[in-house]
Amino acid sequence: MAMTSNISAPGIGDLRTRTDMRAMTIATALFFMWGFVTCLNDILIPHLKAIFELSYAQVMLVQFAFFSSYFVFALPAGKLVEWRGYKQTMIIGLCVMAAGALLFLPASGLASFALFLTALVALAAGMTCLQVAANPYVTVLGPEQTASSRLNFSQAFNSLGTFLAPFFGGLLILGAPHLTPEKMHSLSTALLQAYRAEQASSVRLPYLGIAFALLALALAFALVKIPPMTTSDMQKLRGDDDIPSADDSVWRHPWLLMAAVGIFLYVGAEVSIGSFLVNYFGLPQITAMPEQTAAKYVGLYWGGAMVGRFIGSAILQRVQTGIVLGFAAMAACLLVTTSILTHGPTAMWAIIAVGLFNSVMFPNIFTLGLHNLGALTGRGSSLLVMAIVGGALIPEFEGRLADRIGVQHAFLVPVICYIFIAVFGFAARRQHASPRAVLVPVPPVE
């Protein structure tokens, strides 16, 4: 504690000359945590589906509750940043996330699917505050010329969280065998509720641990002596004093609007695939894997996204953004189609490999959408973040389709999404000289 009191808080000007390693370490931990928490949804889905005997459309309300929060809370989170500054917004976001994680305890005790959904909304509301505040905050925690390096470093830990979550979630949540629907129907109402509460209790330990970790991060951030930094401070650091003209609007930029559609479809496709993988691998015509084993292979899907970001970062130094996006979307489309038309290990590995090509899509679409927006860049960025609501709507649509034609053929939905993204990428290349993409930290959505 003595050492901490002797360290003077760096001024805003100091952040332009040296990186604040204490704040950077905590901020990087934030990226890891929201990647980890988001990907636990892929483990919750098959678990809750079995416990509450839900259809695919019903259980996809997990993703609907989670990702619709980005749309609902993005603008209030932006207002919170303006009111309290970036640092306090992140602290508030962490506390709200912790409250959401703690709600999993009564949800499991009462065996209430509605309360689980409420907990997910709270988790995502806090995460939206982190997304809005932490992404730009990391860019100004040091010299401008190393901003990209800091972003990529933080994103690597975000991807590490998405990679590890299915392994730990499968181990802690999916261990106990489920009763068959026939046996569940033979139980009395009281015994059925007791069985569901017992099965749901497996989520308590992981989410209790998550809550304590989030509160520890909030405390650490509160104790670190760094400038709270407001929106105006951030603009000064970036040299962004432009004011949009009165007659200009984000709705007058067609490439931004198409990029928003692209983000909507990309997040929807990626989340849809991840959400169905455990059940998909358990199908007799695929591998008939038990849930706990299948969860480990879900980690490979997200791990492919982590590896793909490093590969994509190198490729983007030499190849235009639109071309990289177009070919990545084409490859993903072909892999999903292969998985639909085949069976066994071929279908399994084809769908897992999609993660490798998903890796570069979000930052590339984001970069193309914001190209030459000038003073409207901030508003355009908010519009693209709100488009993450695709992660709520498209999985729900695919769930309804899966109830009708089966999980395997319902993957036609992401095929259509990737076709649009590929067309957008190649078209954007012809429209203007595509900028080099910076692989900015993304939600995951992973």
For the segment 261-277, what is each residue's pLDDT rounded down to a tens digit? 999 999 999 999 999 99
**Per-residue pLDDT at 22 exceeds 90:** no
Q: What is the pLDDT of residue 24?
A: 78
The region of weakest confidence among 40-49, 109-118, 237-246, 259-268 is 237-246
**Nearest 5 degrees, angle CA 357-CA 136-CA 157?**
45
Architecture of domain 2-239+250-431: Up-down Bundle (1.20)
Q: What is the pLDDT of residue 149?
A: 56
**Mind listing the pLDDT tens digit for each residue in 96-144?**
999 999 999 999 999 999 999 999 999 999 998 887 787 667 766 666 6
Q: What is the pLDDT of residue 444?
A: 41
**Mind listing the pLDDT tens digit for each residue in 182-222?**
888 888 888 989 999 999 999 999 999 999 999 999 998 88
**Mind listing the pLDDT tens digit for each residue in 57-109?**
999 999 999 999 888 988 888 888 878 888 888 899 999 999 999 999 999 99
Q: What is the pLDDT of residue 245?
A: 60
Q: How many CA atoms lie within 13 A of 316 on its CB side?
A: 24
**Average pLDDT, stretch 376-402?**
87
**Per-residue pLDDT at 228 exceeds 70:** no
**Mind listing the pLDDT tens digit for each residue in 142-179?**
666 555 556 667 777 888 888 899 989 988 898 777 78
The two tokens of residue 405 are 């034609």
Calpha distance 252→432 (Å, rounded): 17
Higher pLDDT: 55 or 367? It is 55
* CB-CB contact of 117 with 237 (8 Å): no
For residue 289, count other CB atoms closer than 10 A to its CB.
17
**Per-residue pLDDT at 42 exceeds 70:** yes
DSSP 163-226: HHHHHHHHHHHS-SPPPPHHHHHTS-HHHHHHHHHHHHGGGHHHHHHHHHHHHHHHHHHHHS--
Higher pLDDT: 181 or 435? It is 181
Q: How many CA atoms lie within 13 A of 120 on its CB side?
A: 27
The reported pTM is 0.82
